[in-house]
């Protein structure tokens, strides 16, 4: 079992590494380009993957991953399942503020609401933040990139008074108890 461990390697100077995991491999590229474009002060390296576990060949050359982002498209069930299976290959140390879930097409009417509910429950049980993003427009991609950058900088230890664990106590996803009833009160 090749687990991805958070603290097994030394961090680079003024660098942050983010890993985008997406089954469909369509949103990753746009997001990666925008993220690199918008950050000027820090060296941001974006690594893309389809699923975990990562291939053993570049185990040595791979730097320390500061944030793992699972991109789930709500329009396909396969996306969610692939993310769930990939979770097993992550060291538990990652779930203390170094994992984030990114969901697209949450507003789409053709998406069954149970899928979003199950993603939320998964994120809440793992104490990870859940972000919603819009992948069709450039503003949506830019907004998502900015938010990911904010979380990345904290997770990489580049923000003076905050660590990933500290931030995760405030950004973790919560599931309201009567989510099945969906009352609009």
- State which residue, 43 or 85, has the beta carbon closest to another protein: 43
Restricting to residues 64-103, which ones interact with another protein according to CB under 8 A?
Answer: 93
Residue whose C-alpha is closest to residue 31's, from 145, 111, 133, 131: 145
Question: Which of 2, 14, 81, 136 contacts another protein by CB under 8 A?
Answer: 14
Give the list of residues 6+ apart from residue 163 with CB closer than 8 angstroms, or none: 97, 154, 157
Give least dist CB 160 to another protein, A: 5
8 lines the binding site for another protein (CB under 8 A)? no
DSSP conformation class of 109: T
DSSP 26-50: SHHHHHHHHHHHH--SSEEEEEEES
The CB-of-125 to another protein minimum distance in angstroms stands at 10
For position 1 contacting another protein by CB under 8 A, the verdict is no
d(CA 113, CA 55): 34
In the bound complex, what is the minimum distance in angstroms from residue 46's beta carbon to another protein?
14
Q: Which residues bind another protein (CB under 8 A)?
A: 6-7, 11, 13-14, 40-43, 93, 156-161, 163-166, 169-170
């Amino acid at each position: 079992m090749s687990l991805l461990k958070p603290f097994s390697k030394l961090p680079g100077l003024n660098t942050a590494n983010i890993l985008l995991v997406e089954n469909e491999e369509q949103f990753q590229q746009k997001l990666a380009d925008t993220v690199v474009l918008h950050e000027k002060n820090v060296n941001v390296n974006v690594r893309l993957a389809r699923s975990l576990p990562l291939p053993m060949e570049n185990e040595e050359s791979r730097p320390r991953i500061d944030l793992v982002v699972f991109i789930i498209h709500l329009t396909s069930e396969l996306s969610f399942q692939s993310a769930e299976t990939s979770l097993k290959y992550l060291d538990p140390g990652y779930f203390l503020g170094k994992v984030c879930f990114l969901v697209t097409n949450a507003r789409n009417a053709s998406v069954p609401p149970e899928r979003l509910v199950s993603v939320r429950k998964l994120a809440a049980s793992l104490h990870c933040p859940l972000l919603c993003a819009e992948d069709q427009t450039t503003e949506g991609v830019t907004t998502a990139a900015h938010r990911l950058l904010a979380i990345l900088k904290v997770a990489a230890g580049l923000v003076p008074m905050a660590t990933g664990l500290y931030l995760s106590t405030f950004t973790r996803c919560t599931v309201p108890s009567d989510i099945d009833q969906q009352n609009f009160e």
